[in-house]
Amino acid sequence: MHLAKAQMSNREDRAKLLDVLGYLPLAIRQASAYMAKKQITTTRYLEYCRSSDKYMVDLLSGDFEESHRYKKAQNPIATMWRISFHAWTLDAEDAIEALKTYAFITEREASEKYDFHRLVRLAMLNWLDKQGGHEEQTDKVVRRVERAFPAPQHDNRGERMAHLPHTQHVLERQTTAQDEKMSLLFKEGFSFYLLG
C-alpha cells in the first residue's frame, strides 16, 4: 500500500501509530489499506485507534485490500490467530512458532509462558462476541487465572509477578464467576501490598 506524502506528513504520529499497532505487519498493512482507500492521514487514523478498543478492532476487521485475491479474507489478525489454533492440534510447536513469527505472542525469557499482543487480545474478544461465547469463555478464563495465581506469600514473589499482567486484564471483564473474581481481586491486592 502506498500512501501519499501528505497522508504521512506527521512523523511523530506515524511513530505513535506504529507503536499502537504493535509493529504487527498484518495490522500495519490493514491500516495503510484503510488510509489509502479513505484518503485519511496517519494522524486521523491514530485518533480513530485511540477513540476506543472496539473502534480499533472494527478498523482492523474491515476488508480494505485492493487486490481481489483477498476479497473474502476479513480481519487478518483474527484469521491468522484462528489458523494457528487449527494447526495447534497437529503440532503445537509449529503453531507456537507461527504465532511468534507474526509477533502475536512473545515468549517470556527462560520460561514456557507467553504474552499475547494487545491487538490479538482485542481481535479474540471481538471474535468471541460475534460467536456468542464471550461470557462463557470469560468465566473459564477467570476461574483458570484464579486457580493459577498463587496465594500471596513473601517467597513466591516471582510467580505472582508473572501472573499480575494477566489478572489485570481478566479483572476488567464482566463475569458471572463472582466468587473467583473476588478471590483474584484479593490475591492481586494483597500482592501489590506485599510489593509495597
Q: Does residue 60 lie within any of the structural domains?
A: yes
Q: Which of 70, 93, 108 is the last residue of a domain?
A: 70
Q: What was the pLDDT predicted at 74?
A: 54
pTM over 0.75: no
Q: Does residue 40 lie within any of the structural domains?
A: yes
Q: Does residue 76 lie within any of the structural domains?
A: no
Q: Does residue 151 lie within any of the structural domains?
A: yes
Q: Does residue 169 lie within any of the structural domains?
A: yes
Q: What was the pLDDT predicted at 70?
A: 44
pLDDT of 40-88, one tens digit each? Answer: 888 988 898 888 777 777 776 665 444 443 444 455 566 665 655 555 6
Q: Does residue 64 lie within any of the structural domains?
A: yes
Long-range contacts, stretch 166-174, CB < 8 angstroms, 24+ apart = 169/121, 170/138, 170/141, 170/142, 170/145, 173/138, 173/141, 173/142, 174/135, 174/138
Q: Which of 47, 70, 93 is the last residue of a domain?
A: 70
Q: Does residue 29 lie within any of the structural domains?
A: yes
**Structural domains of the chain, count:** 2
Q: What was the pLDDT predicted at 80?
A: 61
Domain limits at 66?
5-70
Q: Does residue 142 lie within any of the structural domains?
A: yes
Q: Which of 70, 85, 101 is the last residue of a domain?
A: 70
Q: What was the pLDDT predicted at 61?
A: 65
Long-range contacts, stretch 5-10, CB < 8 angstroms, 24+ apart = 6/41, 7/35, 7/36, 7/39, 7/40, 7/41, 7/42, 8/41, 8/42, 9/41, 10/41, 10/42, 10/43
Mean pLDDT of the chain: 77
